[in-house]
Structure 1
Amino acid sequence: MLFIYNLILHIVYFFIKIIALFNAKLKLFVDGRKETFHALESIKTNDKVFWIHAASLGEFEQARPIIEQLKSLYSDYKIVVTFFSPSGYEIRKNYNLADVVCYLPFDTSKNVKRFIKQVHPDLAIIVKYEFWPNLLNELRKTKTTTILVSGIFRKDQLFFKSYGKWMRNFLSAFNHFFVQNTSSKELLHQVNFNNVTVSGDTRFDRVHKILNQNNTIDFIEDFKNNTYTVIAGSTWKEDEDLLVNYINEVATDEEKFIIAPHKINSESIESLRKSILKKTILYSERNNVNLKDYQVFIIDTIGLLTKIYAYANAAYVGGGLATGLHNILEPATFGVPVIFGGNKYQKFNEAIELLELGGSKTITNQKELNSILANLKKDITLRIAMGERCKNYISTNIGSTPTILEYIKEQIQ
């Protein structure tokens, strides 16, 4: 099966390189990997190295509290962070706590052998669900201490199928699994992996820490002007179409909106602005204007959303109607009721649990969005109750990072 996998892999990568000639994101995916081994030249043979791999930005946020602790506790180690996706790498390529940030090479046997030899990690940390057969095979062969953090397993994954033994065997590369829930632990037990700890999701530690930082943004305060404000973060066009309809047709003058789109290229930002009939301002235009006179504020930059959520009376988190739900824990930590789109959120444990607790609502169409936004606007009791459930949910789920750090300390002594 590994032979077939490798054959398919080479065919797929051949077509990816062709399509990349016409697709900007795939071009980043291909061209970025050309720089990987050059970037790793700063890692010397006598360096002690922690290697952390995250698929994209969400997984990086799960790794971040661990990286911060490793940097603080083991300053004599170098830290290498790799990404699979351009959407993670392009935003965090200058992350200051890492010595090297680069793309993970495509999963060919030749690539991963060269990568592991060049990085020679004392500890490999893989976040959530990046299971590349050749990579895991090489980690196993080199007897590299490897752990999975914030892992989550589902019974429909190949590991747990009768024909998935070939893939299941690669899980033996992991010295320990730190998983988010008991169902993941039980699934691993069923296939005879008992080196499992239910430690939860490290993102809770990350977002809870946000409360201790200075979240003041003067220009957001000026815009909000003590007015009820909905903050829509990481929105895709599918989300924006519904939000804009609500703003244009339902919203009153007593409610304001801050929209932080996932994509911030000039064309999509201008298209969004033109679709809104209410008075709208962009972040890039904020200077020398009276922001309180505007009803809609579009954030056409990155890096501010986490702090902006501190000003929300209600939050809408995007992606659920498009490719996948973005981080709902960031607004939740501020005690803000959370709305998100879509009905395919089963891969997101926090979405399931917050819905069950009543801290969030999910919508699939315009009518549902209009209803929940109108209810949250007029019913302060509902807002407070949902917000408290969100805040309590965060505070009761912190503590994953210390559990993982204790294991790491034992491994590298």
Structure 2
Amino acid sequence: MLLDSLYNLSIYSYVSLLRLVSPFNKKAKLWVEGRNNLFHKLKLDTERRQLRSRSGKLAWFHCASLGEFEQGRPVIEAFRQQYPDYKILLTFFSPSGYEIRKNYSGADYIYYLPADTPENAHRFVSILEPSVAFFVKYEFWKNYLHELKKENIPVISFSAIFRPDQVFFKFYGGFYRKLLHQFNHILVQNQSSLELLKSIDITNVTLAGDTRFDRVKQIVDNRKDIPVVEKFKNKQQVFIVGSAWQTDMDVLIPLMNAVSGDGTKFIIAPHEIHDAEIELWRKQLMARSVLLSDAREVPDLESYEVLFINNIGMLSSLYQYAEYAFIGGAFGKGLHNILEATTFGMPVFFGNKSYQKFQEATELIRLGGAFPIGSTDELKALYQQLKTNEPERKKTATISRNYVLENVGATRKIMQVVETLVKK
């Protein structure tokens, strides 16, 4: 009971803190305002019989943010195809997921998830009465899991990944281990996660793999041409920088200046769009650069060497035009998604500090498809080695592409488990 009370107190405190800082912080403001009057809206939708299908069945998918949504998306779409009588509700914890995917056509309803207080969880589950609930990757909300279990609603966690340093596996982690027992089934990404769960007597586990491989395969299969980018490329090799932070650009800008004029073009996609930051980067470059928003009006676009992407949502499609990729984040809190680049087949570079917890990064390094770097000189040496040895570059590209192809299939394994728990 004491730990329950401390958990709930931490949730109340978190919400209070966000309300306090929301006038001064954009993300906090979106988090708070997105949840205003949410239960009123849910109640209205329910009374209008909009939330459920004629069969009365509703599947609830919850993702923390945009990355988890991309992992959940193949399963959402497979569920829609296999269970057309269900309506689908999608919730997000973070504004970075909700604000970008609030118009996603694969779900019937998309909301923020109310904070995990006992009152909110009870009201939410009572209003919605889902037939099944899915939590993607790291989502372990105590009160929601309790309410779902109490109502005998099947709960599935998929694309989950566990590490020995997580609290579940510590001697003092009993409270959190109990949360794992609330799931009817947990589908994990790798063998080590399976073994960790079995070591704490969690046996309703299946090794399914990572649905991101299925998602990036979808991207390749459904890619669309971007004429303005194709015009910019002008049949030259392209080095794309995905999800760039300042710490990444500190390494990349000297490289770009050093190799300017060698025939390679650069596409820079910042992690967050800040006009002042992009302008600062442009001023440090020797090469001519252009913003994507201006590129369509530039008559001699083919002569520019650097294209800055100043919008959100198209990065995954841009990789089709690249021969090399640098993925940002690893000089800071953590590496961003490298699979979107590797699925198109190319050498992938990233910082050498915060990538170790990402299984795909460590495996691609071992295979020879990815390269952690610590400095401009190191990146320049690797890049020039590949640029001057086309067979070697193509070999590396093939390693990356095959790594994705060999790991598709997680969605199919997840849906096989779903069939045992969900009624048509």
For the criterion TM > 0.5, the same-fold answer is yes
1:319: how far off? 1.7
Task: Tell which deviates more after alignment, 292-301 or 315-324.
Answer: 315-324
2:364 touches 2:400 (CA, 8 Å); kept in 1?
yes
**Who is 1:19 aligned against?**
21
How much does 1:187 deviate?
0.6
* 2:348 is aligned with 1:338: yes
Q: Deviations over 1:204-257 (max 9, x none)?
A: 111112222243222111111111210111112211222122112344341110
TM-score by length of 1: 0.95
Which has the higher mean CA deviation after the structures are superposed, 225-234 or 129-138?
A: 129-138
After superposition, where does 1:103-182 map in structure 2 within 5 Å?
A: 103-182=112-191
What's the offset of the Cα at 1:35? 4.9
Q: Contact between 2:257 and 2:287, CA under 8 Å: does it hold in 1?
A: yes
Confirm or deny that 1:95 pairs with 2:104.
Answer: yes
Q: Residues 242 and 328 of structure 2 are in contact (CA less than 8 Å); yes or no, is this contact kept in structure 1? A: yes
Asked if 2 retains the 8 angstrom alpha-carbon contact of 1:199 and 1:403, the reply is yes
Matching residue's letter, 1:390: S
Which amino acid in structure 1 is aligned with residue 32 of structure 2? V
Q: Is the 8 A contact 1:52 1:124 kept in 2?
A: yes
Q: Which residue of 2 aligns with 1:217?
A: 226
If the length of structure 2 is used for normalisation, what is the TM-score?
0.93
What is the CA distance between 1:140 and its match in structure 2? 2.1
Q: Which of these residues, 6, 11, 22, is aligned with residue 8 of structure 2?
A: 6
Equivalent in the alignment of 1:311 = 321
- Paired with 1:89 and 1:61, the residues of 2 have a C-alpha distance of 12
The alpha-carbon deviation at position 366 of structure 1 amounts to: 2.6
Contact (CA 8 Å) 2:211, 2:410: kept in 1 or not? yes
Alignment of 1:288-327 (within 5 A): 288-289=297-298, 290-327=300-337
Percent identical residues: 46
Any conservation in 1 of the 2:242–2:270 contact (CA below 8 Å)? yes
Q: Does 1:347 align with 2:349?
A: no
Separation of aligned partners in 2, 1:87 and 1:361: 28
Give the Cα–Cα distance (whole angstroms) in 2 for the partners of residues 366 and 94 of structure 1: 40
Selected match of 1:402 from 384, 408, 412 = 412
* Cα-Cα RMSD: 1.7
* Aligned-residue offset at 1:172: 1.2
Whether contact under 8 Å (1:200, 1:400) holds in the other structure is yes
State the 1:38 CA deviation. 4.3
- The alpha carbon displacement at 1:388 in A equals 0.8
Q: Which runs of 5+ in 1 are unaligned?
A: none
Q: Residue deviations 1:52-74, cap 9 Å, x none? A: 11111111011111111122222
Kept in 1: contact 2:333–2:354 (CA 8 A): no
Cα deviations across residues 27-86 of structure 1 (Å, max 9, x unaligned)? 112221225334534244763111111111111011111111122222221111111111
Partner Cα separation in structure 2 for residue 202 and residue 153 of structure 1: 16
Q: Hey, what's the Cα distance between the residues in 1 that align with 2:222 and 2:204? A: 36
Question: What is the letter of the counterpart of residue 102 of structure 1?
Answer: Y
**1:320 and 1:340 in contact (8 A); partners too:** yes
CA contact (8 A) 1:207 1:333 kept: yes
- What does residue 236 of structure 1 align with? 245
Q: Which residue of 1 aligns with 2:68?
A: 59
The whole-number CA distance in structure 2 between the counterparts of 1:236 and 1:100 is 33
Partner of 2:197: 188
Corresponding residue SS for 1:345: coil
Unpaired runs of 5+ in structure 2? none
AA at the equivalent of 2:184 = N
CA distance in 1, matches of 2:293, 2:233: 17
Determine if contact 1:58/1:326 at 8 Å carries over to the other structure. Answer: no
Indicate the larger mover: 89-98 or 377-386.
Answer: 377-386
Kept in 1: contact 2:260–2:286 (CA 8 A): no
Provide the aligned length of Structure 1 versus Structure 2: 413
1:276 CA displacement: 2.3
Contact 1:179 1:185 in 2 (8 A): yes
Q: Where does structure 1 differ by over 6 angstroms across 4 or more consecutive aligned residues?
A: none
